[in-house]
Structure formats: C-alpha cells, structure tokens
Homo-oligomer: A and B are copies of this chain.
Amino acid sequence: MNLPIIPSLDQACMASARARQDTLTKPQGSLGRLEELSIQLAGIYGQPIPSIQEKVIIVMAGDHGVVAEGVSAFPQEVTPQMVLNFLNGGAAINVLARQAGARITIVDMGVAVEMPLHPGLLVRKVAPGTRNMAIGPAMTRAQAEQVIQAGIEVVEAEIARGLDVVATGDMGIGNTTPSAAIAAAFTGQPPAQIAGRGTGLDSAGLERKIAVIERALAVNQPNPQDGLDVLAKVGGFEIGGLAGVMIGAAAHRKAVVVDGFISTAAAMIAVSLCPQVKPYLIAAHRSKENGHGIMLDWLGVKPLLDFDLRLGEGTGATLALPILEASLAILREMATFGEAGVSEKG
C-alpha cells in the first residue's frame, strides 16, 4: 500500500527551543517534562516557538465480531447508542472537549448497524463490524488497507479545516479484545499479561477473554513483521482508522496525542507500518487496563498522566491537551534572565 512520506523532526528548531528554555528565569531543566514536551513540539512543527490553536479530537467507532464470544460486559447495541450520545454532546468526551476548547469529529468506521444521518457524523463504514477473529481474520487485507487510507483522508480533511494537534479516541464494544491481541502479537507477551477487564468483566469473563485472544492468535498467526497483517487478522476498523489518522497527521507535521489502550494499539499498527510516526506521538496517559504499560514500553513512549482511566473515547488524550499548551506558553511567554534582571546560578 502507498503510505505517505513522514519527515524527521526539525533538529534545528529543537535545538533552538532547548537553548531558549535554558535562558528562561528558572533553574535549567526545572520544568521537567514541560520542557521536553515544548522541545518535541518545536521539532514536530518545525518552528522554534510553535503555538497550538486548533485542537481536534477524532473519535472513530466500530464493532467487533468477537463480541459473540462474550468478551464484553456491555451489549453491542451500546456502540451506536454511544455514537448518538457523542452526537448529542452528552458523553465524557464531549464534556472534556468543551473544557479543552477542542472540536470533535466522529467517524463511523464500521458500526454494526446503520446509523441515522447526522451532520456531525462522518460515515466511512467499511463493513457492519469485523468478523469474529476467534474463528478467522477480523477483516481482509484489502479492508485493512482501506481503513488505514480512510484514517489518512479523515485527518487530511481536518487539517484542511484547520488542525494543529489531533487527539485520538475510540468507541467500540469489545475493542479491548482486538487491542490486546494486537499488543500480544507485536510484543510476544502472553495475552494473560495484557488483557484486562475492559468495561468491567468479572474474573470468569476475563479468563474467557484471555482464552479468546489466545485462540485468535493461534487461528490467525498474525505476522508481527507485517502491521497490515496484524490489523487484518486481529484488529478492528476503528483501530486501523486511528492508525491512519496518526500516519496522516505525522506526514503533515502535526502532533498526535494518543489516548489509552485502544489508541495505543492503533499506534503500534501505525509505527509498525511507518516507524517515522513515532516522534510525532505524545502518550496522554497510562490506562488502568492491564497491559497498557507493556504497549507503551514497546513503543518507547512515556505517558503524561496516570489517572486509572479506562474509558477511551479520547478522554485521556483530551485531558492532556492543556499540558501541551502550557508547555508552549512557557516557551513563548516566560522572561529570560537578561530581560528580567535575575542573577544566574552562582
């Protein structure tokens, strides 16, 4: 498949941001991760002092054939119900988007039922849900290519409307199961180390889920050297779509704030297809879902927040947006030692 070229971070702008941080009226390095973040963003945007105006949350929804195996605490009808809740502004992601001053784009990548027409809903439906990965591939390789391409197109349309940073979000009953399978495929860790209780499975449910993931991996044998194969065999439409969003954003030098467990699985797909995506990613948080830490380690990213979140929708990514803005405000607005007449370290 034809993937876009992703530029390297701009080293000169990073050096310039780093040098400026060291002249600001504070002990060098004393703003820790805020300083690192401002330097990363300078490299991403190719500007010595970048600024973020347009914040966009892309929430992708899809259903999963594997729910037939009883891997979720909620029924599949909740996927379209929650999409309607997003469209009506009543979900957690709507609340947090308003707080963060971000707009939301909701995309139907493969909800199992027909969604009513709504001006706020972008329909890029590949199929009415994936097939049951416990008995065969979740989707065809052509469908996997199609979802990646759709994700790239969705983010490119948002960039055309104005987008400085994209936060990723997901909705799809059952989608911690394919996400855990993706993580197990890439990291080689056993599903029991990665799968968690999702929306609230009991212990018997968790055992069942682990067994289903083991079966999906045994039946499909996804090739960890081939991201598209992993996506097709044990992925999901919204997961692949989000991977496309990440690839498309990076190709246009936009920062990507990666939400929790599902978005991190999407990031693993994106990075396996295009390793150059990685420096554009900012991990928003460490989710409560079991193996998220293993996935973040595999990506080599350090999450900003650790709030025991396990909701998805982009909630963690959206909570992190003010931190990015704060890091850039520091770089832009603080006085230097010279400007403020403050003595430097003795």
Contact with B along A66-95 (1 / 0, CB 8 A): 000000011101100110110010111011
Question: Is A99 at the interface (CB under 8 A from chain B)?
Answer: yes
Q: Is residue A211 within 8 Å, beta carbon to beta carbon, of the partner chain?
A: no
Q: A20 on the interface (CB 8 Å rule)?
A: no
- Partner-contacting stretch, out of A25-33, A109-117, A237-245: A25-33
**Docked pose: A28 CA to B92 CA in angstroms:** 12
The reply to whether B85 and A330 form a contact with Cβ atoms under 8 Å apart is no
Contact present for A90 and B334 (CB under 8 Å):
yes
Given A199-B30, A345-B73, A95:B329 Cβ within 8 A: yes
CB distance from A305 to the nearest CB of B (A): 7
Tell which of B74, B90, B325, B345 touches A27, judged by Cβ atoms closer than 8 Å: B74
Q: Which residues of B contact A294 (CB under 8 A)?
A: none
Once the chains bind, are B343 and A77 in contact (CB under 8 Å)? yes
Q: Which of B75, B98, B307, B329 contacts A96 (CB 8 A)?
A: B329
Flag A160-184 by CB within 8 Å of B: 1 or 0 each: 0000000000000000000000000
The segment from A55-63, A129-137, A309-317 found at the interface with B is: A309-317
Which residues of B sit under 8 angstroms from A99, Cβ to Cβ?
Answer: 322, 325-326, 329
Q: How far is the CA of A341 from the CA of B304 in the complex (A)?
A: 34
For residue A94, which residues in chain B have a CB less than 8 angstroms away from its CB? 333
Copies in the complex: 2
Count A interface residues, CB 8 Å: 59
Contact (A342, B96) CB under 8 Å given A27-B73, A73-B27, A311-B31? no
Contact in complex: A342, B30 (CB < 8 Å): no
Which of B26, B84, B309 contacts A34, CB < 8 Å?
Answer: B309
A288 interface residue per 8 A CB criterion: yes
A288 to B27, CA, bound (A): 13
* Chain B: CB-nearest residue to A82: B342
Is A308 engaged at the interface, CB distance under 8 Å to the other chain? Answer: yes
Expressed in whole angstroms, the Cα–Cα distance for A30 and B200 within the complex equals: 9
Q: Is the CB of A98 within 8 A of B30?
A: no
Interface centre among A34, A84, A88, A339 (most CB of B within 10 A): A34
* B96 pairs with A30, CB closer than 8 A: no
* Complex-state Cα separation, A310 to B28, whole angstroms: 10
Q: CB-CB < 8 A to A82: which residues of B?
A: 25, 342
Chain B residue nearest in CB terms to A307: B33
Given contacts A340-B84, A342-B78, contact A91 B31 (CB under 8 A): no
Q: Assuming A95-B326, A200-B345, what are 14 further A-B pairs, CB within 8 angstroms?
A: A25-B91, A25-B92, A27-B73, A29-B200, A31-B92, A31-B311, A33-B308, A33-B309, A34-B319, A75-B346, A81-B341, A95-B329, A96-B326, A305-B305
18 intermolecular pairs with C-beta atoms under 8 Å apart = A24-B92, A25-B85, A26-B92, A27-B74, A27-B199, A30-B200, A31-B311, A32-B288, A32-B309, A33-B307, A33-B309, A34-B319, A73-B346, A85-B342, A90-B335, A95-B333, A200-B345, A304-B307
